[in-house]
Amino acid sequence: MATNGLVLYAMLASKQHEKNVLIFHQNVFDFVSCLLLAISSSLRLCTFHLTGSAGYWLCTLLLSNVFLSSTLTGSVINLAMVTVERYLTVVHTVWSKTKIKKWMIYLAMVFAWIGPIIYNLARMFPTTAMTRGRCIAYVFYPSEAAKQTAFYYHLFSYYVLIFLIFIVC
């Protein structure tokens, strides 16, 4: 986390964050992921007996690691965006200079934050429950078909598709 913070500081101090927006954004994702991992690990050291609505919200929003998994997923999406942007800049230089606008890059950056949060919250709420005062996340699917569908969607979207982008670009 300290190294990511140092890289962010160096990019800000040297004004490189203005030229390499997606690289800076990737470092922000890495820093936030490290921060959330430290918080999550600290919370795991504590023993909570979860009851009532406060326990449910603590379980779903903090102990389930929904925001940590969202930043990790967003980091993968951002890394794919960096790959595509660099590929277009190198291979299709003229096209990328005329067609890719700053607002497109910023919109993609916003998607890299919002998309994974919505996806992980939608996946977490129906599959997380409190059992005997303990938080059990991403386990309780309504059916085996729903569990398989979620697994294959995640596998295709965040492994196969991303791997293909890395190979092609």
The CATH number covering residue 136 comes to 1.20.1070.10
- Please give the tally of structural domains in the chain: 1
Residue 63: domain span: 2-168
Determine the pLDDT at residue 69: 93
Which pTM value belongs to this model?
A: 0.88
Cα of 59 vs its chain's centroid, Å: 19
Determine the pLDDT at residue 43: 85
Determine the pLDDT at residue 60: 86
Determine the pLDDT at residue 156: 95
Residue 95 and residue 88 in contact, taking contact as beta carbons nearer than 8 Å:
yes
Residue carrying the six token digits 């918080």? 39
pLDDT per residue, tens digit, the chain (169 aa), is: 889 889 989 999 998 888 889 999 999 999 999 999 999 899 888 877 788 888 888 888 888 899 999 999 999 999 999 999 999 999 999 999 899 999 999 999 999 999 999 999 999 999 988 888 888 888 899 999 999 999 999 999 989 999 999 999 9
- Burial annotation 122-135 (CB, 10 A radius, 16+ → b, else e): ebbeebbebeeeeb
